[in-house]
Amino acid sequence: MSARRLRMIALEALRILLLGAGAVVMLAPFVWMVATSLKSPSEIFAAGFSLWPEDFNAYANYARAFTEVPMLRFLLNGVIVCTGILFFQIVTAVPCAYALAKLGFRGGTIVFGMVLVGLMIPSHVPAIPLYLAFANLGLLNTYWALIIPSAVSVFAIFLFRQFFRSVPDDLINAARVDGLSEFSIVWRIVVPTAWPAITAFSIFSVVANWNDLFWPLIVLTDTALATPPLGILFFRDQEAGSDYGALMAGTTIITAPLVIVFLLAQRRFIEGITLSGVKG
């Protein structure tokens, strides 16, 4: 074996050692979370370090996580809120983006200017007036209070407009000659060409809203409506206390959906999340 080849192998070993050490730190919380969710209380409180449970207590832990708080309800709330928000965001952004990209209309420049200004405003900024409005309408502690503030996404309008601009004008003109209304052109001709953008945005939107704590914390006090992050806080503060096995079972349940989607569709997932060069 030549000296050069030996050096290559040494360098590769060093690379794997460094990356491996870092990966242990990155993955430790996940491994420890799942390991603890399988352990009995006596083992969790015992001194010393063991990864694999000696007496397997997973059933009791997960059963408590599902029964002491409405864990399935939290997940369902998350699904309802994320789906609702995504539905409104797509339904409002797609036609607007098409109009901005392909139709000249009075005020288009102003609308696009609003989109660009909106991109710079974090979602926390309008919180006080929105809270006031929902309180006055008697809508606090409803799904609407969670969904409506995110019903329009300036980021979606911006992104879709970029995509729609590359749809050939000939395609649209041909559809017009065939007698399609602009409304049908949007949904039947333009949208099918923009699936990559819509998929990426959908992942971005669902991840952001599934994980959001700020707004649910403001408008919800009703445990039954809690989104997953708020639900895990309720569980920690009211039920679990120092019942770490059940608490870690709960965090595993809340984290699992997104992590599973990520592991199954890594490339799309990463594209969706890192889309947020502007908004994050």
Interface of this chain with another protein, residues 77 to 96, rule: CB under 8 A: 91-93, 95-96
DSSP annotation of 121 reads S
Coil/strand/helix, residue 167: coil
What is the C-alpha separation between 156 and 204, in angstroms, rounded?
10
One of 65, 69, 71, 99 touching another protein (CB under 8 A): 99
Based on CB atoms, which residue is closest to another protein, 22 or 192?
22
Selected range binding another protein among 39-47, 54-62, 63-71, 79-87, rule: CB under 8 A:
39-47
One of 131, 175, 180, 223 touching another protein (CB under 8 A): 131
What is the C-alpha separation between 185 and 99, in angstroms, rounded?
11
Assess 217 for contact with another protein (CB under 8 A).
yes
Based on CB atoms, which residue is closest to another protein, 51 or 63?
51
CA 30 vs. chain centroid, Å, equals 18
Q: How far is the CB of 63 from another protein (least distance, A)?
A: 19
What is the C-alpha separation between 249 and 26, in angstroms, rounded?
20
Selected range binding another protein among 52-60, 64-72, 125-133, 137-145, rule: CB under 8 A:
125-133
Q: How far is the CB of 270 from another protein (least distance, A)?
A: 5
Selected range binding another protein among 20-28, 55-63, 65-73, 138-146, rule: CB under 8 A:
20-28
Q: How far is the CB of 160 from another protein (least distance, A)?
A: 10
Provide the mask over 135-174, with x wherever binding to another protein is found by CB under 8 A and - wherever it is not: x------------xx-xx-x--xxx--x--x---x---x-
Q: How far is the CB of 117 from another protein (least distance, A)?
A: 7
What is the C-alpha separation between 14 and 17, in angstroms, rounded?
5
Based on CB atoms, which residue is closest to another protein, 60 or 262?
262
Provide the mask over 172-211, with x wherever binding to another protein is found by CB under 8 A and - wherever it is not: -x-------xxx--x----------x--x------x--xx
Residue 146 parent element (H or E): helix 143-147
Assess 226 for contact with another protein (CB under 8 A).
no
Assess 247 for contact with another protein (CB under 8 A).
yes
Q: Report the amino acid identity of residue 43.
A: E
Selected range binding another protein among 57-65, 79-87, 129-137, 139-147, rule: CB under 8 A:
129-137
Residue 92 makes CB contacts below 8 A (sequence gap 6+) with: 151, 152
* Burial of 122: CB neighbours in 10 Å, binned 0-12, 13-18, 19+: exposed
User: Hunting for tokens 């569980």 — which residue is that?
Assistant: 235
